[in-house]
Amino acid sequence: MAEFEPVSTLSDFQKLDDADILEGYLDGFHGMAEPGSDKSPSYCHGWLNGQVDAGFREPSDAQKELALAFQTL
């Protein structure tokens, strides 16, 4: 998963695939193992958010930046 840049801007977020984000989110929320290079950046973004929402990890700086960007819409 480290091969993907974290999503921290609205323009980067808009390039992601909603279905992959949802799949990754659900897997991350349910504690599935960290995804490898066989998964898309969208899936990885969702997985990280699922991990945070389930309490498995703290939000990254990129996640915090993206959240702030959404708040300013």
Neighbour tally for 15: CB within 10 Å: 10
pLDDT tens digits along 32-66: 999 999 999 999 999 999 999 999 999 999 999 99
Residues spanned by the domain of 49: 10-71
Is the pTM higher than 0.85? yes
d(CA 53, CA 48): 9
Q: Is residue 5 part of a domain?
A: no
Number of domains in the chain: 1
Q: Is residue 1 part of a domain?
A: no
Q: Is residue 40 part of a domain?
A: yes
Beta-carbon contacts of 46 under 8 Å, excluding residues fewer than 6 positions away, are 20, 21, 22, 23, 24, 25, 26, 27, 28
The predicted model gives 13-17 an average pLDDT of 98
Look at residue 71 in the predicted model and tell me its pLDDT. Answer: 96
